[in-house]
Structure 1
Amino acid sequence: MYQGSMVALVTPMHGDGSLDDAALARLVEFHIENGTDAIVSVGTTGESPTLSPGEHIDVIRRTVELVAGRIPVLAGAGGNATTEAIELARAAVDVGADATLQVTPYYNKPTQEGLYRHFAAVAEAVSCPHILYNVPGRTSVDLLPETVERLAAIENIVGIKEATGDPARARDIIERCGDRMAVYSGEDPTALDLIFEGGRGDISVTANVAPRLMHDMCMLGIQGDREAAQAIDDRLRPLHAALFCQTSPIPVKWALAEMGLMEPGIRLPLVPLEERYHETVREALRAIDAL
């Protein structure tokens, strides 16, 4: 299935917040040229909460067109209403996405049984591969390992993006489900630790600005070359921290603008990176020769 460095791609925008198709094309080529293993379109880093349903699907469609089959495209298609998640997943598949990323329903805070039934309903309604996404720091909902184990019995639920940043949690899921689903990191600072436990890669914010390094680190880790993978991770550590100095994707979009790949457009209620953090991000980019 999917493995390696899978970029949680930003959605490029002009200064007025409108979508920037030319910049999206540049970013897709940047990632393919630099070894990114898959693109995750319109996830949290892609500002899914502020895109209209039509924009959401249009960005996925355009990303699929630009990628042109060269690497997989996974589509953010979750929702806090099961019917909405099913509709988004169907639409994403219709425009050519290879799989969907399904975040835990947020705000309404379902029980573990509700989470199970939600994801099972999506998987039954839409026959493509689905990757679960557990990010309790954003959703206030935690998909527990025992529920993941139940969901691993569903054939087209093929993986989980585990973004608690807790290596013990990842180890538990891998021990329960590693022969039936892939486990991916959703936290760049602890991604290599998860890979060393048997994870299959990282759905990454850092890969937006350091795609080659993230690809190399993930693949070396998967291949068992701990020393080489750790050396890259050590080099990336200041960048991991800098890209979360404010709420993501604020810092990473500013970094991409500094690199000349897109305008620094972002939509309210998110606002551009505060000036006091500019040099922090610049220093981290210089340390990996991105500036």
Structure 2
Amino acid sequence: MKRIFQGSMVALVTPFKGGRVDEPTLRELVEFHINNGTDVLVPCGTTGESPTLSHDEHRRVIELTIEAVNRRIAVVAGTGSNSTAEAIDLTRYAKQAGADGALLVLPYYNKPTQAGLVAHCRAVADAAELPLILYNIPGRTGINMLPETLAALADHLYIVGMKEATGNLEQMTQDIVLCGDRLSFLSGDDTLTLPLLAVGGRGVISVVANIVPRDVADLTRAFLSGDWKRAREIHLKLFPLCQAMFYETNPIPVKTAMAILGMVSGELRLPLCPMSEPNLNRLKAAMRAYGLLS
């Protein structure tokens, strides 16, 4: 039977201090999320600045997150790469370290064909034998996995879900029409969590939950338990803050917000750089409106 991942899954930031991974703060973030109802932690994704982590750092962040969680909630480690061999290596490591699953971003820059996407995903799933959530984000990868292509993978025992960040609700709906309950569909855009849930999604891999994990958890739980009115209320309250998380390239705004709240240093790695002053002011205004700042 396939592993089902659902609810509030947080795309965890990687805290840095003095150019290095800030391990004590990472441990604190794990406790923060467990205490605030997060269902699954997802380290080493885009929000975790995985493109700038060395291989040793990438493995250490996965290992440390799993160690700190200590089986209290699930951990789905980001292990994708545009090299199939590298993705296999990272995914096997995640399994060995004790991850419950892996998030596999589709190959970026190479621009494989749809047949190449199928071959890549099957190769990783076959080699690693760890539940995989595929991650479709054309705005970053330059390629889009079509619904028919995803359907060709839906029966694989170790391909269990899809993080959809196309921004295209029509495509997401077609994914669900073709794949049904063979896959767990998760929003890759906080602003589209409720619409995706409404057509059959199971949750979100969230950026904004880095700062308001309880609210995102409450939204998904309300919807999945049938309290759609409550889910809509939370969604509408969250919506402007979700938009603020993308005033500049993710994770610049969310890390900046976390620094304002005293959660992390806010340190980013080049080529990401600090927020511009106008957008910083807009971010602070959104945080005030939400009640995060006095």
CA–CA distance in 1 between the matches of 2:101 and 2:34? 18
1:79 is aligned to 2:91: no
Say which of 251, 269, 272 aligns to 2:271: 269
3-state SS of the aligned residue for 1:178? helix
- In structure 2, the partner of 1:99 is 101
**CA shift at 1:224, angstroms?**
2.7
3-state SS of the aligned residue for 2:14? coil
Q: Which stretch shifts more, 54-63 or 277-286? A: 277-286
Which portions of structure 1, spanning 4 or more consecutive aligned residues, are displaced by more than 6 angstroms? none
Q: Would you say the 8 A contact 1:196–1:222 is kept in 2?
A: no
- Percent of aligned positions that are identical: 51
**CA shift at 1:288, angstroms?**
3.0
Say which of 278, 285, 288 aligns to 2:287: 285
**CA shift at 1:129, angstroms?**
0.4
Any unmatched runs of 5+ in structure 2? Answer: none
Matched ranges for 1:4-153 at <5 A: 4-14=7-17, 16-153=18-155
Matched ranges for 1:242-261 at <5 A: 242-261=244-263
CA–CA distance in 2 between the matches of 1:287 and 1:67? 32
Aligned pair count?
Answer: 290
CA–CA distance in 1 between the matches of 2:213 and 2:252? 18
CA–CA distance in 1 between the matches of 2:77 and 2:176? 23
- In structure 1, the partner of 2:201 is 199
Any unmatched runs of 5+ in structure 1? Answer: none
- Deviation per CA, 1:142-185, whole angstroms, max 9, x where unpaired? 01100100000111100000101211111111111122111110
CA–CA distance in 2 between the matches of 1:69 and 1:283? 38
Q: Would you say the 8 A contact 1:210–1:290 is kept in 2?
A: no
CA–CA distance in 2 between the matches of 1:239 and 1:45? 16
CA–CA distance in 2 between the matches of 1:28 and 1:211? 11
Matched ranges for 1:135-174 at <5 A: 135-174=137-176
- Deviation per CA, 1:4-27, whole angstroms, max 9, x where unpaired? 01000000011x321111111111
Say which of 2, 11, 26 aligns to 2:5: 2
TM-score when scaled to structure 1? 0.98
Q: Would you say the 8 A contact 1:80–1:105 is kept in 2?
A: yes
Q: Which stretch shifts more, 273-282 or 226-235? A: 273-282
Letter matched to residue 142 of structure 1: N
Letter matched to residue 249 of structure 1: P
- In structure 1, the partner of 2:183 is 181
- In structure 1, the partner of 2:210 is 208
- Deviation per CA, 1:95-152, whole angstroms, max 9, x where unpaired? 1111000111000100000000000000100111011000000000101100100000
**CA shift at 1:282, angstroms?**
1.6
Q: Which stretch shifts more, 154-163 or 169-178? A: 169-178
Say which of 227, 230, 243 aligns to 1:228: 230
3-state SS of the aligned residue for 2:16? coil
**CA shift at 1:278, angstroms?**
1.8
Q: Would you say the 8 A contact 1:198–1:222 is kept in 2?
A: no
Letter matched to residue 235 of structure 2: D
Q: Root-mean-square deviation (CA), in Å?
A: 0.9
CA–CA distance in 2 between the matches of 1:68 and 1:289? 32
CA–CA distance in 2 between the matches of 1:26 and 1:284? 25
- Deviation per CA, 1:61-103, whole angstroms, max 9, x where unpaired? 0000111111000000011011010001011111111100011
